[in-house]
Structure 1
Amino acid sequence: MARDPHRRESRRSRSRKHNPDGTMSLRDHLYDLRHRLTLALMFLAIGAIFGYIWWSWEIWKGGSLGNIMIAPYCELPADLRLPKDECKLIQSTPFEAFLVRLKVGLGAGAVLTSPFWLYQIWAFVAPGLYDKERKFARTFVLFASLLFVAGAFLAYYVVPQGLDVLVSFGGDQFATALRANDYFSFILVMLLIFGVSFELPLVIIMLNQTGVLSYEKLKRWRRGFFFGLFVFAAIATPGTDPFSMLALSVAMCVLFELSVQVARIHDKRKARRLAGAEEDYSNLSDDDVSPLNLQTHKDQDNQPSPTPTSPPRDDKPGYDDVT
């Protein structure tokens, strides 16, 4: 049975691309959601396949993914590893190596393809946003990807110091023979923690853009934020050396200070725009809201209400409704 071309054309005409105002029915929203999820999963699958192949192949002379991920373990002193003078992990189950390779490849692929599947999420949400919010969402997706990768890189260079401290608690009475699944799970969790922690400035800027956190509040709470960031860095980095803790804490403090300055610039522009809007509302864009003049209402409320007066009486004889 041949498909009706008119039905296909009508469905195509209902798409968002042919709707200038971006309005869609519930059915079209579900079609678009399925389309975006399919593309996002496709990008994740491509990234996972690439990461799985990268595990044992050197790409661009940067080393294979397996050697890159096992490098922090190989930096441990030789007397702490078992067997000594070798850099190998233990496989306790027949499928452990395959599952570890698949998990690490999926994580690497998700990071590498994050701009593509994050764009699919943004493309689904964007029609419901104002023009100003769309521009902010584009910038948010770009900087979220860059900051996550930067945090993961910092974690990769911090992990060896923390791992050295953790495995040396037992002294000479213990030798380290790590299971592959446990080791790579530890590495991936550390990369995730550092990557997510680097999203702090974006969260602060987003709260400032929505009016939840003003620059005055951030300036007043700056010392408390700095203290909390140093405490978080001390907990997140298990190493006793000051370099690893300072690397994370100083980086997060710098990012926090940058977000505070962005909030300061935004609040200044907002105050200047609102001050001009009180005199001329024609300068406001379609996305901005004109301020309310509450002083007029307060003045009207403070004025005494006039004394009610009865209407003048007519001395002429009248008739009632019955008459």
Structure 2
Amino acid sequence: MARTKTPKRPKRPKNPTGEMSLVEHLQELRHRVIISLAAIVVGTIIGFIWYQAAPPRMMPLGEIIRGPYCNLPDDLRADFTGDGECRLLATSPFEMFMLRLKVGALAGLVLASPVWLMQIWNFITPGLHKNERRYTFTFVAVAVVLFVAGALLAYFVLDKGLYVLMTMGNEFQVAALTGGEYYNFLLALVVIFGVSFELPLIIVMLNLIGILRYEHVKEKRRLITVLIFIFAAVMTPGQDPFSMVALAISITLLVELAFQFCRWNDRKNHRQRPEWMDLDDEQASGPIAAPTPVGGSSAIGTDAIERPAPIQEASPRRNIASQRGFAGGTDFGDVL
């Protein structure tokens, strides 16, 4: 018996221009989202296992997270086990499970970042030009590096800032932090540092597209520095001086590097400050011409206007007859 060959599915034609209909855009978006979510789920499972069981030559994720708290002196931490082991306090039955799940989800998001960033990249690039694709990939890579650098700095300054906070009034109380409180504090610090480190990248992007120039900011460095320190003082979750100064100095240095890039890029593209921006209002507007006299008034022609003929009123008899004829109760001969 001869085997029937199944017809092959036609290959999808290539689309070099990147043009797609709305339905194709939605299908492409669904495909990218499914792949990203699957990668995040796999990363979350790995992070959930890594929280307690680490690969060889690596520390468990839970040990890494509680490191700044365990680095505090023994007299600043409450001893719940009696053997001097560093432990965080749990006050509800599901707190330890939820803490482990949150840490695993955060680790999964970080571990799966190359996958979902690549999916975003593949979804955006069909509608961009070749040079725009190169810049987009560069900006995404730099954004990831800056966020990771800010998160690492937040982790290393946490033990110093935590020591300052825990030594305030330690004569009367001892620190007994719960896992949820400590994790929320660490997460807030990491996110604030990571997002704040993206500010120089935004400045560079605004300069490349021509909105921000070096001439606009070179005389406002002192004001910008003061605003950065105010931002750091308000946004740091613990308001300790060590974390505030570390965040403010780091952002100031990165912003200064971004300004120097703007200066170099403006010189490269021969961007100069317009001359009218250095003039006052009278010089920028130019000389004002003398007023011109107003000419005399001219007479308007008076042509004869024909008046419409007056409308003659109908005779009372005709009106009455028409009313009767409209009513339909009399003879129409009277109307004629």
Does TM, scored on the shorter chain, surpass 0.5? Answer: yes
Report the counterpart of residue 279 of structure 2 in structure 1: none
TM-score of the pair, normalised by structure 1: 0.75
Inter-CA distance 237–160: structure 2 relative to 1 (3 Å threshold): farther
- 1:241 Cα deviation (Å)? 5.5
Structure 1 window deviating more from structure 2 (206-215 vs 159-168): it is: 159-168
Report the counterpart of residue 186 of structure 2 in structure 1: 187
Cα distance in 1, alignment partners of residues 151 and 172 from structure 2: 33
- 1:239 Cα deviation (Å)? 6.6
Quick one: percent identity of the two aligned structures?
46
Pair 1:140-2:136 in alignment: no
Deviation digits for residues 119-158 of structure 1, max 9, x if unmatched?
A: 2112212222232221111001101111111111100011
Deviation digits for residues 237-281 of structure 1, max 9, x if unmatched?
A: 747565x44433332222112211222222223337xxxxxxxxx
Report the counterpart of residue 74 of structure 2 in structure 1: 78
Cα distance in 1, alignment partners of residues 117 and 212 from structure 2: 26
Cα distance in 2, alignment partners of residues 218 and 23 from structure 1: 40
Deviation digits for residues 47-95 of structure 1, max 9, x if unmatched?
A: 2122112111233523111000001111222222112733111122222
Inter-CA distance 266–5: structure 2 relative to 1 (3 Å threshold): farther
Cα distance in 2, alignment partners of residues 181 and 265 from structure 1: 47
- 1:170 Cα deviation (Å)? 3.5
Q: Given that residues 165 and 240 in structure 2 are in contact (C-alpha distance below 8 angstroms), is that contact kept between their aligned partners in structure 1?
A: no
The count of aligned residue pairs is 264
- 1:32 Cα deviation (Å)? 0.5
- 1:37 Cα deviation (Å)? 0.7
Report the counterpart of residue 20 of structure 2 in structure 1: 24
* One-letter code aligned to 1:97: M
Cα distance in 1, alignment partners of residues 22 and 181 from structure 2: 45
Cα distance in 1, alignment partners of residues 25 and 220 from structure 2: 42
Report the counterpart of residue 10 of structure 2 in structure 1: 9
Pair 1:212-2:195 in alignment: no
Q: Which has the higher helix share?
A: 1
Cα distance in 2, alignment partners of residues 260 and 70 from structure 1: 38
* One-letter code aligned to 1:136: Y
* One-letter code aligned to 1:50: I
Instruction: Identify the match of residue 31 of structure 2 among 23, 29, 35.
Output: 35
TM-score of the pair, normalised by structure 2: 0.72
Cα distance in 1, alignment partners of residues 154 and 239 from structure 2: 12
Cα distance in 1, alignment partners of residues 73 and 142 from structure 2: 38
* One-letter code aligned to 2:137: R
- SS state of the match for residue 28, structure 1? helix
Cα distance in 2, alignment partners of residues 269 and 118 from structure 1: 31
Cα distance in 1, alignment partners of residues 10 and 269 from structure 2: 46
Cα distance in 1, alignment partners of residues 71 and 92 from structure 2: 26
Cα distance in 1, alignment partners of residues 31 and 167 from structure 2: 51
Q: CA RMSD in A?
A: 2.5
Report the counterpart of residue 67 of structure 1 in structure 2: 63
Cα distance in 1, alignment partners of residues 188 and 143 from structure 2: 18
- SS state of the match for residue 97, structure 2? helix
Quick check: which has more Rg, 1 or 2? 2
Cα distance in 2, alignment partners of residues 60 and 232 from structure 1: 42
Report the counterpart of residue 289 of structure 1 in structure 2: none
* One-letter code aligned to 1:39: I
* One-letter code aligned to 2:185: F
Q: Given that residues 188 and 237 in structure 2 are in contact (C-alpha distance below 8 angstroms), is that contact kept between their aligned partners in structure 1?
A: no
Structure 1: gaps spanning 5 or more residues: 273-323
